[in-house]
Structure 1
């Protein structure tokens, strides 16, 4: 019988949501849905087209004519209008601008509808900023995964260094704090822990420790 469990993992940028969510989904045989990748894909397309990222009407129209596919596998692929942009959407430029696009109400409405449709078909582990509060408020398990800005910056710097980017840690911390502010103060679907979410601070935990904690919670909902 197919596992229909629905797990929502929210939290700020760099808290390790995607890595943890992928591992949890793999262990439980659930579909992993990276909502952040969807907003990043729209952001990448907007940057490529040179759009004004403060123009909500243009960004909404862009999202409406954009096809985003998440292809399951050992490494989930992100296809933007059929093009594999899995790596490109993780670039520093996209990271710097994604919060501006993600706060646009029209963009969120379009992508949330797609996310809900995906989750209606099977059991999922979905991560993002508003999964437990807006996208899947009926989720069986809700997790709010966080970590200090310094720890998140160090993790992100290591990840980018492995891809050949040179990173200024102080600047990265500032960008993360600015992104946190934008995400938590936007008018539509702000970043906030759901009232019934379990908060996990991963600052001093390994990925495996976080995954084990979540698996334990799912086993005892």
Structure 2
């Protein structure tokens, strides 16, 4: 009986050390080939028209691989969308009111509270020496390890100025695969806003903005020093041609 007990203890010790070794290797980023890659991220979008305006619906799903349960990684979802144009000290709104997002996470179907999502506003430059800046809402949601996907609803209610305008919505997802490097570490885009006929500046015109996303900085800011990959998708939503 004593020998059997000793054998069981030895087996447990061996498995314990093996588990610890695998977990350490995963955290160091040595097992990236056994983690979910960008090709495993499925993102879809649709637009729903309501009595209060247009709602852009974005759904994402990422199937984590079994080994990733050892890492207990923390992903992040980022969302960026314009709320106005800043010209010479004045802001001309594109959206009526502050566009809070509605987020439901899977597989449990839980609706995320507003306090779990971080909102900030930032101004992005436009090309050339012209003064306009685009006011962007920046949304960050740290994704718990037990969440495999989510459904975002972004409401767009037009103002009298912004009716019939088209706005870009930028979705970015960070997946933690261990290590300390984020790939890519920097993303630069030039999304365009199509301004409607009533807009007081550049009406019926197109405004391009210089969108830069320092992925390493943003991941470290919200999640600490982590490594993984970032996937970015750009969608467009057309505002209603009637204001609320």
Which protein has the larger Cα radius of gyration, Structure 1 or Structure 2? 2
Task: State TM-score, norm by structure 1.
Answer: 0.31
The answer to which structure has the higher helix fraction is 1
The answer to which structure has the higher strand fraction is 2
Q: Which has the higher contact order (CA 8 A, sep 6+)?
A: 1
Task: State TM-score, norm by structure 2.
Answer: 0.29
